[in-house]
Chain A
Amino acid sequence: MGFFVETLIGGLMAGMLYSLVALGFVLIFKASGVFNFAQGAMVLFAALAMARFSEWANIVLGGDSLFLANLIAFLGAGVVMFIVAWIIERLVLRNLVNQEGATLLMATLGIAYVLEGVGQTIFGGQIYTIDVGMPKDPVIMFESLFEGGIMINKEDFIAALIAAVLVGVLTLFFQKTPTGRALRAVADDHQAAQSIGIPLNRTWVIVWCVAGIVALVAGIIWGSKLGVQFSLATVALRALPVVILGGLTSVPGAIIGGLIIGVGEKLSEVYLGPYVGGGIEIWFAYALALVFLLFRPQGLFGEKIINRV
């Protein structure tokens, strides 16, 4: 029983990490109807910027304060992501208004290639580390309940907490602020939003910027776990089932979807994996998402798709 709960909790935490990446997808899809395949590249790009900036800041500051160096690096990387968002809007999205979904999807794949290339050219293509001072040691909990207690990774726990806070803030942002309302209006109907005076271009810069910040947070957490390297860009592929399971347009959906996928992956790997040779995590997540899709084709919390002739 203890082992089961441990796996379950591990899955939940892994799920929160997936939702962090999934959030980026949802944000951009919500506000511009673009399915952003470049999200993984953005995570990589942000993490690379963060890792190198903190390295440089550390040298400039003389290695006195890790916190200050990280803060400077975070702000620097945030500015970089803003610039990236602005360039993407300026050069790509503005020229692709009113194109079909498939075309936009391909364009973001093109952006992903460019970001991967530029990121590694500017910041270097080696493996870097991000050290934001997260505790690495596991803690044992609930020793009174289960024999031997449950081992929880403190790092995962903090990451999950950060993800939860981020989601709360974003939900508030979308639902309560005027900017959030404008974003939702743009997502609903480009033309109608424009006709009541919402600046389309600025809205897109904002949303890509927010997605960039989310990518930065995801990049820091994933980067400090796995190290910053090229394979970080493939995290997006792991987060895709989360997005379609939760629904492309729902922020809470990204979280619930992440939790379901995280738990499903871990449990399947532990209890089903040994029978079929292991390594089933990746496709099992997709298969799980597919099963849910068969019952709800728009995802668990997605807006209902209405077909009219």
Chain B
Amino acid sequence: MIYRENGQFKTTYAADQQIFTIAQDKWFVLGLIAFAFIGVPMLADEYMFRAILIPFLILSLAALGVNLLVGYCGQITLGAGAFMAIGAYAAYNFMIRVDGVPLVAALLLGGATTAALGIIFGIPSLRVRGLYLAVATLAAQFFCDWAFLRLGWFTNYSPSGSVSISNLSAFGWAIDSPVEKYLFCLLFLVAFAFFAKNLTRASIGRQWMAIRDMDVAAEVIGIRPMWAKLSAFAVSSFFIGVAGALWGFVHLGSWEPAAFSVDRSFQLLFMVIIGGLGSIMGSFFGAAFIVIMPIFLNQALPALGSLFGIAISTAGVAHAEFIIFGSLIVFFLIVEPHGLARLWAIAKEKLRLWPFPH
């Protein structure tokens, strides 16, 4: 009853082609953004920002990028962690090697560098498909792991191999407290999410989806596979690169290559598959699930153990986390192979008819 489009007439094409055609959707999203900007900083404490909210925002951004490539263009990648690393190290090098480059510019340049390299690592996709491509992208992952560990130039010959960035500030705004970091990441995320949403509605997004659904057929109707695939790689890498730079600069502060290991790649792929392939909203759901679940298990398991009088050792908790996390992933894939975004869509459909389903 509440969520119903009755009586919302569109009289212009522009009105018909809005991002959110239903007024309730529009207000809901606007409300959500307003809450994220105003409500959350008032409610959350420092631990929440550091452990949950900032990682969630940054990984959502990365998941968005992965989703553009995997969900919209159908090219499976296991190298997302490497692209995050490229973004982080490129932005770092711009920061320290170019005098007076502003923070935002460094982050975006990091993204742009990642996009350029993403095109290069995307070239095999023109020839290799599916699972073969997934494994081929691992080449990027291991090459980057090695390069950032062994080639001193990237880390500015830091003896410990770890690099750090401090005193972040953008446009005269010093970003040092967790709240400010949160808002900074949130600005990026909102801008990029709208960018992604619009891309997928535009001609380029439709080309990606045509390639995803059947590349031979897409080629027959005049879509250039090379252009479509490589542009997907570039845009997706740009997103992931910026996310990686934010992860290094804002979340970690100082980092080493292990922060962007192959586990991170798997984690990002988990996010888009659990969240929902080919769905912007799904990327957020997936990121939230993957970020919150381990923290929740970490807190809940010892508490649960003491409830039954069993003391679980730290190693035991780690193993139990493995088991529960793995089972949950399998469980989700079995109950809802199309991801949490699909549940969201079903809920909306039900709400439309509620309370008179017939």
Partners in one complex: yes
The range of chain B's interface size is: 35 or more
Which residues in window 103-139 of A have CB below 8 A to B?
Answer: 103, 105-107, 109-118, 120-121, 125
The listed residue (A101, A107, A289) touching B330 by CB distance below 8 A is: A107
Q: For residues 269 through 309 of chain A, which have their beta carbon under 8 Å from a beta carbon of chain B?
A: 276-280, 282-283, 286-287, 289-290, 293-294, 297-299, 305, 307-309
Stretch at the interface among B10-18, B32-40, B51-59, B122-130: B122-130
How far, in whole Å, are A102 and B337 apart by their CA atoms in the complex?
10
Q: A151 to B119, alpha carbons, bound, how many Å? A: 45
Interface string of B126-159 (1 = CB under 8 A from A): 0111111011101100110110011100000000
Min Cβ gap A203→B in Å is 20
- Set A106, A248, A278, A287: member contacting B270, Cβ < 8 A: A106
Cβ–Cβ < 8 Å partners of A99 in chain B: 333, 337
Given contacts A277-B151, A297-B129, A309-B214, contact A106 B146 (CB under 8 A): no
Q: A121-B319, A286-B136 are in contact. Are A305 and B129 (CB under 8 A)?
A: yes
Does A223 interact with chain B (Cβ within 8 Å)? no
**A105 contacts B136, C-beta separation under 8 Å:** no
Tell me if B322 is interfacial: C-beta within 8 Å of chain A.
yes
B150 touches A106 (CB 8 A): no
Cβ–Cβ contact A297 & B315, under 8 A: no
Q: Is B164 on the interface with A (CB-CB < 8 A)?
A: no
User: Given A95-B334, A107-B333 in contact, is the A113-B322 Cβ separation under 8 Å?
Assistant: yes
CB contact under 8 A between A294 and B323, given known A121-B316, A286-B143, A299-B132? no
A99, closest chain B residue (CB): B337
Q: Which of A8-16, A77-85, A239-247 contacts B (4 or more CB under 8 A)?
A: A239-247
- How many residues does chain A have at the interface if contact means C-beta atoms less than 8 Å apart? 52
Q: Is the CB–CB distance between A309 and B216 below 8 Å?
A: yes
A152 interface hit (Cβ, 8 Å) = no
Interface of A is mostly: helix
CB contact between B326 and one of A96, A102, A111 (< 8 Å): that residue: A111
B75 to chain A, nearest CB (A): 11
Q: Which of chain A's residues have a CB closer than 8 A to the CB of B316?
A: 121
A267 at the interface (CB under 8 A from B): no
Task: Report which of A248, A277, A286, A307 forms a contact with B150, defined as CB distance below 8 A.
Answer: A277
**Pick the contact of B124 from A101, A280, A293 — CB < 8 Å?**
A293
Give Cα A265–Cα B346 distance, bound, in whole angstroms: 51
Q: Within 8 Å of chain B (Cβ to Cβ): is A193?
A: no
Chain B, range 256-294, C-beta contacts under 8 Å to A: 262, 266, 269-270, 273-274, 277
Question: Is B189 in contact with chain A by the CB < 8 A criterion?
Answer: no
The listed residue with most A CB atoms (<10 A of its CB), out of B142, B220, B324, is: B142
Contact partner of B323 (CB less than 8 A), chosen from A118, A248, A308, is A118
- What 0/1 pattern do residues 25 to 44 of A give for CB contact below 8 A with B? 00000000001000000000
Cβ 8 A contact of B216, one of A105, A120, A241, A307: A307
Check if A244 sits within 8 Å of B333, measured CB to CB. no
Distance between Cα atoms of A72 and B330 in the complex (Å)? 33
Give the docked Cα–Cα distance between A181 and B262 (Å).
Answer: 37
Q: What secondary structure prevails in chain B residues at the interface with A?
A: helix
Within 8 A of B (CB), among A216-259: 237, 240-241, 243-244, 248
CB neighbours (8 Å) of B142 from chain A are 282-283, 286
* CB atoms of B325 and A297 under 8 A apart: no
CB distance from B188 to the nearest CB of A (A): 27
Task: Say yes or no: A113 contacts B139, CB within 8 Å.
Answer: no
CA gap between A100 and B220 in the complex, in Å: 24
Quick one: given A96-B333, A96-B334, are A114 and B138 in contact (CB under 8 Å)? no
A127–chain B nearest beta-carbon distance, Å = 13
By beta carbon, the residue of chain A nearest B144 is: A283
- Determine whether the beta carbon of A112 is less than 8 Å from that of B128: no
Contacts A101-B131, A106-B270: A114 and B323 contacting too (C-beta < 8 A)? Answer: yes
CB of B329 within 8 A of CB of A294, answer: no
- Chain B 61-89, CB within 8 Å of chain A: the 1/0 string? 00000000010000010000000000000
At the interface, yes or no: B175 with Cβ under 8 Å from chain A?
A: no
Residues of A within 8 A of B135 (CB): 240-241, 243-244, 286, 289
Contact partner of B131 (CB less than 8 A), chosen from A110, A248, A287, is A248
A106 in contact with B333 given A117-B322, A121-B316 (CB within 8 Å): yes
Q: Say whether, besides A121-B320, A294-B127, A248 and B330 are in contact (CB < 8 Å).
A: no
Q: List chain B residues, Cβ under 8 A from A237.
A: 138, 262
| CB <8 Å contact, A102 and B132 | no
Cα A110 to Cα B138 in complex, Å, equals 19
B327 within 8 A of A: yes
Interface set of A (CB-CB < 8 Å, partner B): 35, 91-92, 95-96, 99-103, 105-107, 109-118, 120-121, 125, 237, 240-241, 243-244, 248, 276-280, 282-283, 286-287, 289-290, 293-294, 297-299, 305, 307-309
- A-contacting residues of B (Cβ < 8 Å)? 70, 76, 124, 127-132, 134-136, 138-139, 142-143, 145-146, 149-151, 214-217, 220, 262, 266, 269-270, 273-274, 277, 315-316, 319-330, 333-334, 337
8 A-B pairs within 8 Å (CB atoms) are namely A35-B134, A95-B334, A110-B327, A111-B330, A113-B325, A118-B319, A240-B138, A289-B136
Closest CB pairs A-B (n = 3): A113-B326, A117-B322, A286-B139
